[in-house]
Amino acid sequence: MIQVHYLTFNPYQENTYILFDETKECLIIDPGCYNAGEQNALVEFINANNFKPVKLINTHCHIDHVLGNKFVFDNYGLKPHFHKEEQFILDAIPGYAPSMGMHYELSPAAEHYLEDGEVVSFGNSTLESIFTPGHSPGSLSFYSKEDHFVIGGDVLFYQSVGRTDLPGGNFGVLKQSIEQRLFPLGDEVKVFPGHGPATSIGFERLHNPFL
C-alpha cells in the first residue's frame, strides 16, 4: 500500500510529496525545498523513516516545483523524470528567476522523459502517468489504481484549477484534461494537488466553480 506524505515549501506554498510503501523505497515528487531549513526538513523526514529515495518526479517544471531538483540530485543522486514538453519550461527558469527575486540552482538534466500511460514503479508499488496538459504543456498526473489517489500537480485544486496565463497554458485544454482524463478515474479517488489541501474527484465534479 502506498502512503502519501507532503511538506509545504517555498514562497509559493508548494506541496512536495514523498510516496512510500512497506519496502521503505520512496518517490520524491516536485521537490520545492528552497532554503536550508526546507532542505533539512525533507532530509529529516526521509532519514527518520529510513526511506530510500529511488526516483525524482516532476509533474511539471514551473520554478516552484523544481527548486529542490538540484538538492535531491546532490543528496540522493537522482535525476528528474518529466514529460518532454516540459523541457523548454525548465530551460526558461534561469532567465526569469532573478526578476522574481528567486535564487535558482540549475536542475540536472532529465534522466527520462515520461509518456502518457507509462508505469512508474518503486518498491512493491506502481503509479500510472496521465497526460493532463493545460496549466503547463507537459503536465502529468500520477494515479494509483490500487490505492485510489492521484498526484495532480497544478491541474486540479480544491474548488479551483491551475492558472493558464503562463507560457503554454490553455484553459480549454486544462478543462478537457480534467473532465476527460481525471474525472473518469472515479468519484472516490483522492486528489493530492500541488498547492492547498487534498480533495476528491467526486467533490470537484459537484462543487468546482471552474468546471
Domain ranges of the chain: 3-207
- The residue ranges of the chain whose pLDDT is under 70 are none
> 115 — alpha (psi -120 to 50), left (phi > 0) or beta?
beta
Q: At what angle do helices 36-48 and 69-76 cross, to 10 degrees?
A: 40
Length of the chain: 211
pLDDT of residue 106: 97
Task: Supply the pLDDT for residue 73.
Answer: 98
What pLDDT sits at residue 210? 96
* Cβ-contact 135, 163 below 8 angstroms: yes
Helix (H, G, I), strand (E, B) or coil at 205: helix
Rounded Cα distance, 24 and 34, in Å: 25
Q: What is the pLDDT of residue 42?
A: 98
Ramachandran angles phi, psi of 71, nearest 5°: -65, -45
Determine the pLDDT at residue 171.
98
What CATH number does the domain located at 3-207 have?
3.60.15.10
- Distance of alpha carbon 211 from alpha carbon 78, whole angstroms: 37
What is the identity of the amino acid at 11?
P
Structure letter (DSSP) for residue 180: I
DSSP-based three-state secondary structure for 8: strand
Summary mean pLDDT of the chain: 98
- Give the separation between CA 160 and CA 157, rounded to whole angstroms: 5
Q: Report pLDDT digits (tens) over 75-94.
A: 999 999 999 999 999 999 99
- pLDDT recorded at residue 132: 98
Output the pLDDT for position 25: 98
| CB distance 135 to 193 below 8 Å | no
